[in-house]
Amino acid sequence: MRALRLLPLLALAGLALVGVPTAAAGQGAAEETRIVDFDFAPRTLEVEVGTSVSWSNTGARPHTATDRGGSFDTKPISPGASAKVSFSTPGTYFYFCRINPSKMNGVVVVKPGAQPSKAVRVQAVDPGFTGDKLRFDPPRLSVAAGTTLLVANVGGKPHSLTADDGSFDTGIVDPGPEGGRFAGKNASVTLTKPGTFGFHCEIHPAAMKGVETVTGDAAGGGPAAASAGPREVDIGARDFAFDPKEASVASGGKVTVTNRGKAPHTMTLDDQPLDTGNIPPGAMATLTAPTEPGSYSYRCAVHPAKMRGVLVVLGRDVEDPTEQGAAQAVAAAPVAAGGDGPGGGVTTFVLVTAVLAAFLGGVGLSAFALRRRRAPT
C-alpha cells in the first residue's frame, strides 16, 4: 500500500526528469526538405532517381517522414536533427508524418534517369485519406522486361494490380490502419513477358485501370509470378454477407468458411466445381483453393443475390525487390508505419468512455451543486 501511495509521486518525478529526445542520425543530402511545426517545406519535391533526400527538422517537436505506401520510414526525427532516404526507384511517393498524420503530408516525385530502372513504383490512390479519386499513379507506364513493379497502397481501401489477362497479380494490398490514416502495405510483381498489358484493380475494376508496356526480353521469360499469399484464409459467412468479401490465399491453400449467422450458408465458386455444401449455423467447412492463380468469384447458393465474394489465388512467391540491388529506394526497411494496433474500434471506445465520464462527473457535480443550494436552509 505504501508503494502505491508513492506511485503518483514517482510518476511526477519521472515527468520532471524527461528531456528532449536525442538527435537522430543522418545528415547531408543532394536535396533537402525542411520540417516545420507542422508542415513540410516544400510539400512537393521533384528529384532524379538515385537522389538522397534529407529531412531536417527545424521545428520544436519530433516528426517523421513516412511513406504512405509503407516503403520507408525515417522514425521520429528530433528537433535539429535530420534523416535521409535514397530514392533509386522512380515513381511518386506520398509521405506523411505519422506523429501528425492528418496535418503533415508531402510528395516526392522521383523521375527516371538515363539508365532504365530495375524497379518502378505504382501507387494505388483512393479517396480514403488523401481525398483523391480512385486511380493508379501512373496509369500508363513503359518498362523493360525484368522490371519489378512496386505497388504501394497509399489510400484507405484494399487494392490489387492485376493484369487483365491474369499474367501478373499483386494480390490484395491492404490499406493503412484507420482507413488509410496511417501507412499502407505494398507488394511487387516482376514483369518478364514483353507485350502490352492492360491492368486493373480487382476490387475497383471499373475505376482503376492502366496499361503497362513491357519491352525487350528478360532471361527466364514467361509470365510474371505473383506475390506471396497466406497458406490459409478464414472467411466468415454472416446473415447475409461474407466477411471479408475479398480474401487472398496461396495457390492450393486452405479456405475455411465459418457460418456466423443464423441461416445456413454455402461458399460456392461461380466457375469452378468447388462448393462447401450447406454449412449449418455455427459450423465450418473447408475448401482447397484452385491451383491456378487468378480471381474467383463465389456466392452463397442459398442467398446468391445478397452474398457474393471474391477469392484471389496468388502464385509462387517473388523476392522482395526492396531487399535486392534492384530497388534501393528505401533507407529503412519497408514498414507499415501505422502498425497493427488498435484500429477503428478506438473511436467507439473513446466516445463511450467520454459519455461515461461526463455522466459520472455530471452526477457528482450536480450533487455538489444541489447540496450547496440546500445548505442555507
Partner 1 sequence: MDLIEFLNDLTGGQLLLWKVILTSLVFACAGLQVLLAARFYEASTVPPISTGVAARTHRLNGKLTVTLAVVVAVTCLVGPAGPTSPTRVLLHSTFGSLAFALLALKYTVLKLWAPGGRFLPWIGSGLFLTFAAIWATTVADYVTAR
Smaller CB distance to partner 1: residue 7 or 305? Answer: 7
Using CB under 8 A as the binding rule, whether residue 4 contacts partner 1 is answered as: yes
Q: Judged by CB under 8 A, does residue 207 bind partner 1?
A: no
Sheet containing strand 209-215, strands side by side: 140-144, 209-215, 195-200, 162-163
First to last CA, the chain: 42
Of positions 35, 49, 61, 376, contacts partner 1 by CB under 8 A: 61
Give min distance, CB of 157 to partner 1, in A. Answer: 14
Beta carbons of 200 and 290 less than 8 angstroms apart: no
Binding mask 311-350 for partner 1 (x = CB under 8 A): ------------------------xxxxxxxx---xx-xx
**Touching partner 1, residues 132-151 (CB under 8 A):** none
Joined together, the cell numbers standing for residue 323 give 531487399
Asked if 377 is part of the footprint of partner 1 (rule: CB under 8 A), the reply reads no
Nearest residue (CB) to partner 1, 69 versus 315: 69
Whole-angstrom distance, CA of residue 220 vs CA of residue 224: 10
Half-sphere exposure of 185 (CA within 13 A, CB side): 17
What's the burial of 264, exposed, middle or buried (CB within 10 Å: 0-12/13-18/19+)? middle
Asked whether position 3 contacts partner 1 by CB under 8 A, the answer is no
The alpha carbons of the chain give a radius of gyration, in whole angstroms, of: 26
> What residues does 39 pair with on adjacent strands?
36
> In angstroms, rounded to a whole number, what is the distance separating the alpha carbons of residues 221 and 193?
6
Give the residue, chosen from 181, 185, 200, 303, that forms a contact with partner 1 under the rule CB under 8 A. 181
Residues linked to residue 188 through DSSP beta bridges, in sequence order: 150
Nearer to partner 1, 177 or 253 (CB): 177
Q: Which of 103, 111, 133, 306 binds partner 1 (CB under 8 A)?
A: 103
Residue 76 vs 229, nearer CB to partner 1? 76
- Tell me how long the chain is: 377
Which positions lie near partner 1, rule CB under 8 A? 4-5, 7-8, 11-12, 14-15, 18, 20-22, 24, 37-38, 61-62, 75-76, 78, 98-103, 177-179, 181-182, 335-342, 346-347, 349-351, 353-354, 356-365, 367-368, 370-371
